[in-house]
Amino acid sequence: MITTDQALEIILKKAKRLEPVSVPLIESLGKVLAEDIVSGDDIPPFANSAMDGYAVVASDTKDASEDTPVELEVLEDQPAGTVATQAVRKGTAIRIMTGAPLPDGADAVVQVENTISGKDQRVRHGFVKILKPVRATNNVREAGEDVKRGEIVLTVGTLLGPAALGLLASLGHPHVKVFRPARIAIITTGDELLEIDQPLQPGKIRNSNAYSLYAQVEQTGAVPVKAGISVDTKEALARILKTALGDADIIMTTGGVSVGDYDLVKDVLDLLGAKLEFWRVAQKPGKPFGFWTYEGKSIFGLPGNPVATMVCFEEYVRPAARKMMGYDLLFRPEVEATTTNDIKKKPGRIHFIRVIVEKNDNVYTVSSTGPQGSGILKSMVLANGLALIPADIEFVQAGGKVKAHLIDQPEDH
Amino acid sequence: MITTDQALEIILKKAKRLEPVSVPLIESLGKVLAEDIVSGDDIPPFANSAMDGYAVVASDTKDASEDTPVELEVLEDQPAGTVATQAVRKGTAIRIMTGAPLPDGADAVVQVENTISGKDQRVRHGFVKILKPVRATNNVREAGEDVKRGEIVLTVGTLLGPAALGLLASLGHPHVKVFRPARIAIITTGDELLEIDQPLQPGKIRNSNAYSLYAQVEQTGAVPVKAGISVDTKEALARILKTALGDADIIMTTGGVSVGDYDLVKDVLDLLGAKLEFWRVAQKPGKPFGFWTYEGKSIFGLPGNPVATMVCFEEYVRPAARKMMGYDLLFRPEVEATTTNDIKKKPGRIHFIRVIVEKNDNVYTVSSTGPQGSGILKSMVLANGLALIPADIEFVQAGGKVKAHLIDQPEDH
């Protein structure tokens, strides 16, 4: 039996970053960039107006006021997306829209609210009155203000969020290279498992692990592969494992890893030539957890109990998958918290207690979600944290300090 | 011009919860439950073994030890998923696997590690030696230990995570009712917009807002509807708006909402009969932001500047969409933080400063991501927070306190 730290170290050592793949920009959301992005353009590509108004020579406006407006001749009207056909020179202006390229000769824009146009009877047709002075560069966005051509704008390892997608779009990248999302196969084992639309029968239970794991894989940003239910024969399990090994980067089995006669996972993986890295971890829940490797793939033999399965996914599979997918930060935030209830346990194994974590005035508290049997999924439904009680500790009094993993918080904060 | 608080109040008042829809269980992940779930079964449905071992009458084992093992006759071998054909009585045991129903007559399970079986030459064939005593209920999971039949296990409004999906699976719910995800149409406007695979041309820019908004909608758990680019004519915009109003719960336009001649959004929405709720908010970026309603739908006229668009989505559209989708908590965490740099601004509007939020020893600091022009998307790529500088404040010195919204943190913590 090894410690949780030893188990995690072995697992992460075996988790190798997956190869880069090119995906349509919109599918890159939440993934990790696998190439440096060098801008081929200035962004914005040209000096343009930050306002709707009039492009002018700033020095023309220096004496403008409500009482002494400056009158300029309007040479033309230039919507966004078009280029002026003339240059602005002293005594003239060009009507301009937000985003439109600044015409030659102009060095500032007077916003429309500070003008009276020829539509007003106080102003001659074809002219505009300027009511407020502007200085050079006022209301102008310079070319390259956001990004300069040749600049490295995003580097390998960047987590791609909505703003990064917008930036890549503006630079003309309809496709982008990201580290390939891990494919994670889910195999549930046991003659007692029914599909979830089946009525219960004596001795049978519904296959809930397939659903909780599928959801955990999705929330990790990986690709769940439904490999199916295996009955408790070596032939059936070997067949389903072989298919999964051909199709996924990570293979998870649930059940069949303790010492019972029907615990076939170990035997079948032996037969297939997988290398046992460890079996059994000093933790509760999840003691009979085993880990194998086979041709660069990671195989997690998870326990069959619903809570143990979910806790092992959270503590081991998720960090491994994140490493494969190129994420920099692998672990949920860990905080120190005050327990609101006594915690009593036997020595020898770390316990992962399902807790509700609350934060008040920057102080964290944790409260047990109730009975902690490893079959009691309700304890996990309510939990937003796992409190860690070290192997050698037998008792923590209410008010004492414990460490907790915040399992509803992103790793990337 | 109204305040940001007034704008948010109006927007949220108009956001009505969408109707419940039934979805396949796996698609309910991350959504909000729209029905109470009453358990039709006990979970587990029968008392079962928590270990691989031997089902026994506990009192038979009370004197068992390594030196004085108790020998019991093994009546049969009962895998998980099967029911024993006989009852355990004093002097006998049934070989049992984890999860298998506890046979009649048995009241405890001795785990296999504390036995020597008939496979060992020290034990007669057909018998088992018990090396450690057990008490009644030891290693037995009681029927209904997790959930009792008739119990309300999940209530309307529950955010469905992986554990809830597992619980629903175990209770036999292949479908579940959730509040319908909002459909959010994205319309970008402007003659200057190019598709992102087009080379730049004089006066043109690529349509980045469609991508950043699409990503923001996805991250909100809503359904993005690509309504397309509208050129700057009333006819084109009216056509695209009408289609979007027929197909989405929320319609967003970008650009075309300031006072320029080509700012058509206001005129066209008037013509279509939409009700203007407000136009212009005392904020930077995003002053020319407008909001309309039409037959229960919410129409957000977002500014065209990339950063302004993203900030308005974050501060207004996302909370409104969350309310429609039944989420209880609508807002990102707000923290008080120390600014590491001076912040200078004009009075009159709230400024949303893009910042990097860091937390050390439970103290938050915020640092500006650099130049804050509303076209500078780079400032948003780096940001994990928005610092709020109130309208009447002109200067915050480095070391001063500001409020910040943590835009990479979930609302539901």
| Sign of CA pseudo-dihedral A172, A177, A178, A181 | positive
Q: Which residues of B touch A346 (CB under 8 A)?
A: none
pLDDT digits (tens, 9 = 90+) for A127-142: 999 999 999 999 999 9
Whether B115 has its CB under 8 Å from any CB of chain A: the answer is no
pLDDT digits (tens, 9 = 90+) for A131-175: 999 999 999 999 998 889 999 999 999 999 999 999 999 999 999
User: Looking at residues B200-219, what average pLDDT do you find?
Assistant: 94
Q: Which residues of B touch A167 (CB under 8 A)?
A: 208, 377-378, 381
Structure tokens given for B134? 């057990």
Structure tokens given for B222? 């809503």
Q: Which residues of A touch B212 (CB under 8 A)?
A: 162-163, 165-166, 169
DSSP of B180-220: PPPEEEEEEE-TTEE-TTSPP-TT-EE--HHHHHHHHHHHT
Q: Which residues of A touch B373 (CB under 8 A)?
A: 50, 141, 145-146
The distance of Cα A387 from the centroid of its chain, to the nearest Å, equals 24
Whole-angstrom distance, CA of residue B160 vs CA of residue B332: 19
Helix H, strand E, coil C: the string for chain A is CECHHHHHHHHHHHCCCCCEEEEEHHHHCCCEECCCEECCCCECCCCEECCCEEEECHHHHCCCCCCCCEEEEEEEEECCCCCCCCCCCCCEEEEECCCCECCCCCCEEEEHHHEEECCCCCCCCCEEEECCCCCCCCCEECCCCCECCCCEEECCCCECCHHHHHHHHHCCCCEEEEECCCEEEEEEECCCEECCCCCCCCCCEECCHHHHHHHHHHHCCCEEEEEEEECCCHHHHHHHHHHHHHHCCEEEEECCCCCCCCCCHHHHHHHHCCEEEEECECEECCCCCEEEEECCEEEEEECCCHHHHHHHHHHHHHHHHHHHCCCCCCCCCEEEEEECCCEECCCCCEEEEEEEEEEECCEEEEEECCCCCCCCCHHHHCCCEEEEECCCCCEECCCCEEEEEECCCCCCC
Whole-angstrom distance, CA of residue B300 vs CA of residue B311: 13
One domain, residues B308 and B195: yes
Among chain B residues, the shortest Cα distance to A102 is held by B203
Residue B405 has pLDDT above 90, yes or no: yes
Among chain B residues, the shortest Cα distance to A140 is held by B373
Q: How close, in Å, is residue B11 to chain A by CA atoms?
A: 23
One domain, residues A57 and A113: yes
Whole-angstrom distance, CA of residue A328 vs CA of residue A31: 11
pLDDT digits (tens, 9 = 90+) for B228-275: 999 889 999 999 999 999 999 999 999 887 766 667 899 999 999 999
Among chain A residues, the shortest Cα distance to B97 is held by A260
Confidence tier at A412 by pLDDT (50, 70, 90): confident
- B226 in any annotated domain: yes
- A413 in any annotated domain: no
β-sheet bridge partners, residue B20: B179
Whether B163 has its CB under 8 Å from any CB of chain A: the answer is yes
Of A170, A202, A210, the CB nearest to B377: A170
Strands A334-339 and A401-406: antiparallel
Query: Could you list the residue range(s) of the whole structural domain that residue A154 is in?
Result: 20-44+145-179
Structure tokens given for A322? 């994140």
More confident position, A362 or A83: A83
Whole-angstrom distance, CA of residue A55 vs CA of residue A166: 28
One domain, residues B151 and B275: no
Among chain A residues, the shortest Cα distance to B210 is held by A166
Of A169, A207, A218, the CB nearest to B206: A169
Among chain B residues, the shortest Cα distance to A151 is held by B378
Whether B235 has its CB under 8 Å from any CB of chain A: the answer is no
CB contact under 8 A, B208 and A412: no
One domain, residues A69 and A112: yes
One domain, residues B30 and B162: yes
Q: What is the dihedral of CA B165, B167, B169, B173, to 10 degrees?
A: -90
CB contact under 8 A, B205 and A99: yes
State which of A324, A358, A383 marks the end of a domain.
A324
CB contact under 8 A, A203 and B173: no
Whether B201 has its CB under 8 Å from any CB of chain A: the answer is no
Amino acid at A66: E
CB contact under 8 A, B163 and A381: yes
Q: How close, in Å, is residue B90 to chain A by CA atoms?
A: 23
One domain, residues B369 and B240: no
β-sheet bridge partners, residue B265: none
Residue B412 has pLDDT above 80, yes or no: no
Residue B374 has pLDDT above 80, yes or no: no
Q: Buried b vs exposed e over A349-382: b needs ≥16 C-beta within 10 Å?
A: bbbbbbbebeeeeeebbbbbbeebbbbbbbbbbb
Q: Which residues of A touch B175 (CB under 8 A)?
A: none
Burial class (CB in 10 A: 0-12, 13-18, 19+), A141: buried
Of A52, A206, A261, the CB nearest to B169: A206
Output the domain CATH number for residue B297: 3.40.980.10
Query: Which A residues in the span 266-295 are in contact with B, Cβ-Cβ below 8 Å?
Result: none
CB contact under 8 A, B232 and A190: no
Considering the entire predicted model, what is its pTM?
0.93
Look at residue A261 in the predicted model and tell me its pLDDT: 61
The Cα diameter of chain A in Å comes to 99
- B96 in any annotated domain: yes
Nearest in space to A256 (alpha carbons), one of A225, A235, A233: A233
Structure tokens given for A366? 């944790």
In this complex, how many residue pairs, one in chain A and one in chain B, have their CB atoms less than 8 Å apart?
302
Whether A196 has its CB under 8 Å from any CB of chain B: the answer is yes
- B129 in any annotated domain: yes
Residue A119 has pLDDT above 80, yes or no: no
One domain, residues A260 and A370: no
Whether A71 has its CB under 8 Å from any CB of chain B: the answer is no
Whole-angstrom distance, CA of residue B97 vs CA of residue A259: 9
Look at residue B260 in the predicted model and tell me its pLDDT: 64
Look at residue A260 in the predicted model and tell me its pLDDT: 64
Angle ∠(A2,A8,A14) on CA atoms, nearest 5:
110
Look at residue A312 in the predicted model and tell me its pLDDT: 98
- B9 in any annotated domain: yes
One domain, residues B167 and B206: no
Residue B146 has pLDDT above 90, yes or no: no
State which of A179, A202, A230 marks the end of a domain.
A179
- B312 in any annotated domain: yes
One domain, residues A228 and A318: yes
Output the domain CATH number for residue B167: 3.90.105.10
Structure tokens given for B13? 């008042």
One domain, residues B216 and B305: yes
Whether B243 has its CB under 8 Å from any CB of chain A: the answer is no
Among chain A residues, the shortest Cα distance to B306 is held by A166
Look at residue A82 in the predicted model and tell me its pLDDT: 87
pLDDT digits (tens, 9 = 90+) for A22-33: 999 999 999 999
Are the CB atoms for A153 and A167 separated by under 8 Å?
yes
Output the domain CATH number for residue B97: 2.170.190.11
Whole-angstrom distance, CA of residue A301 vs CA of residue A268: 12
Structure tokens given for B349? 């509007």
Q: How close, in Å, is residue A15 to chain B by CA atoms?
A: 24
CB contact under 8 A, A219 and B384: no
Q: Which residues of A touch B26 (CB under 8 A)?
A: 211, 214-215
Out of A387-391, B117-121, B271-275, which region has the weakest mean confidence (pLDDT)? B117-121
Residue A16 has pLDDT above 80, yes or no: yes
Are the CB atoms for A365 and A339 separated by under 8 Å?
yes
Residue A259 has pLDDT above 80, yes or no: no
**Tally of domains in chain B:** 4
Look at residue A262 in the predicted model and tell me its pLDDT: 62
Out of A91-95, A256-260, B167-171, which region has the weakest mean confidence (pLDDT)? A256-260
- B329 in any annotated domain: no
Cα–Cα distances in angstroms (integers) from residue B179 to residues A35, A70, B299, B321, in the given order: 39, 59, 20, 11
State which of A324, A344, A367 marks the end of a domain.
A324
Look at residue B263 in the predicted model and tell me its pLDDT: 78
One domain, residues B283 and B347: no
Q: What percent of chain B has pLDDT over 90?
A: 82
- A412 in any annotated domain: no
**Interacting residues of A246 by C-beta distance below 8 A, sequence separation 6+:** none
One domain, residues B210 and B97: no
Q: Which residues of A touch B219 (CB under 8 A)?
A: 29-30, 161-162
**Interacting residues of B36 by C-beta distance below 8 A, sequence separation 6+:** B152, B154, B155, B156
- The mean pLDDT value of chain A amounts to 94
Mutate to test the interface with B, among A153, A211, A401 (most CBs of B within 10 A): A211
**Interacting residues of A27 by C-beta distance below 8 A, sequence separation 6+:** none
Whether A82 has its CB under 8 Å from any CB of chain B: the answer is yes
CB contact under 8 A, A384 and B413: yes
Q: How close, in Å, is residue B271 to chain A by CA atoms?
A: 22
Angle ∠(A120,A125,A131) on CA atoms, nearest 5:
55
